[in-house]
Amino acid sequence: MTVKEYHQQGLKYFVDKEPENLKYFSEQSEGAHKIKLFFLKDGTCRWWTNKRCKKLMALADVACHIYNTEKRVPTDEELLEFFKEEKDKQKMRARINLLLKTFGV
């Protein structure tokens, strides 16, 4: 799947403000990119980014889906495999590294 195809399906876990039932959050930034993961009292996570980087947004959504359904953090290889049709692997790896740091990996 490509990032564009994923966006066309709709982002499921994006929030535009801090959720009310927040247990804690984690954030990381790199250059102009900033991401926050919100972990809610019900055990699920949501995400927010300051810059509309489509790659980071799609990766965060997939990572939150895996976390929410399987209660684990996805691996970098797993995320790359999900978006195996993306051509710019270097940018994907950079965004994955930022995302996984936010998860504490």
pLDDT at residue 88, rounded to an integer:
93
Give residue 53's domain range.
3-102
The total number of structural domains that make up the chain = 1
Percent of the chain surpassing pLDDT 90: 93
pLDDT at residue 86, rounded to an integer:
94
CATH number at residue 34: 3.30.390
pLDDT at residue 52, rounded to an integer:
79
Return the amino acid letter for 104: G
pLDDT at residue 105, rounded to an integer:
86
- Whether the model clears a pTM of 0.85, i.e. scores above it, the answer is yes
Beta-carbon contacts of 22 under 8 Å, excluding residues fewer than 6 positions away, are 38, 39, 40, 41
Q: Return the closest-CA partner of residue 50 out of 15, 80, 77, 81.
A: 15
**For the segment 32-89, what is each residue's pLDDT rounded down to a tens digit?**
999 999 999 999 999 999 977 999 999 999 999 999 999 999 999 999 999 999 999 9
**Main-chain phi, psi angles of 31, to 5 degrees:** 60, -130
Question: Exposed, middle or buried by CB within 10 Å (0-12, 13-18, 19+), for 80?
Answer: middle
Measured distance CA(31)–CA(58) in Å, rounded: 19
Measured distance CA(57)–CA(74) in Å, rounded: 15
Measured distance CA(105)–CA(99) in Å, rounded: 9
